[in-house]
Structure 1
Amino acid sequence: MSTQVDGKLTRIEGLTELHPVEGDRPNIEKLAAATGATIVRLSFTAGQRMDDHKAGAPILVQTVTGDISFATADETVALVPGTAVHVDAGIVHRLVANTDSVVQLTILR
């Protein structure tokens, strides 16, 4: 998943790989923890969701493949490849997969 090179560079692989699981929630896999960020892959099958929750740190959520509806109390954003949202810590949000999708979650610390 990740390889640290010379203590200065962390190479992260597998960002586009869909690793689905059965059930209502996506498969959540930590790919790397590096200075200032943790990278997590979320693998959704169509219809899977993450109901209302919040993060303890700012996050960056971007769709690598597929189509995700990302919503807060005030707004819903269609996350497709090439689209990302930055969310401040403590903001309640939810995700619903409209198609099989892979999402990269970057937890900023």
Structure 2
Amino acid sequence: MAGTHEGTALVFPQLTEAFEPFDNKPHAQKIVDATGANLVILEFAQGQVWREHHSVHPVIVQVLKGRVEFTVKDEIIDLVPGTPIHLTSHLLHEVRAMEPSTVMVTMLTGETHEPAKTNVEGIRSI
């Protein structure tokens, strides 16, 4: 199958500077609904916790800045930039910020969004 020059590329701004955590909880913001995936940014202050929860879609979680303890299936995983984790749908997990942290969640939805719906300043489409 040959490649194509048809399609869209989204170029994102510096996401570690996009949001501030709330005083009493992390700030979660969906930044894009795109074909195949949604992106969510979570901004944590040190010590903030996203209590045990799940996603209806498979997800990839990656730390863009900082360090979090990621608890899944009674195991604590130290997530830092460069160590993403993939979760199947409905798998319970919890996130605790060990320092100020920016976390990006890629929700693998399989949905089609043409054009992509964006919710943050500075996203450029090519």
Q: Same fold (TM over 0.5)?
A: yes
Alpha-carbon displacement from aligned partner over 1:64-83 (angstroms, at most 9, x marks no partner): 00010001123211011111
TM-score by length of 2: 0.77
Unaligned ranges ≥5, structure 2: 1-5, 110-126
Measured on the aligned residues, the alpha-carbon RMSD in Å equals 1.4
In structure 2, what is the equivalent of residue 3 of structure 1?
Answer: none
Aligned partners of 1:12 and 1:32 also within 8 Å? no
Once the two structures are TM-superposed, the CA of residue 43 in structure 1 deviates from its matched residue by: 0.2
Q: Higher relative CO (CA 8 A, sep ≥ 6), structure 1 or 2?
A: 2
What is the letter of the counterpart of residue 46 of structure 2?
Answer: A
Work out the percentage of aligned pairs sharing the same amino acid: 35
Mark the runs of 5 or more structure 1 residues left unpaired by the alignment. 1-5
Q: For 2:108 and 2:72, locate their aligned partners in 1 and report how far apart those are by CA, in whole Å.
A: 19
Paired residues for 1:5-16 under 5 Å: 8-16=8-16
2:82 matches 1:104: no
Structure 1 runs of 4+ off > 4 angstroms? none
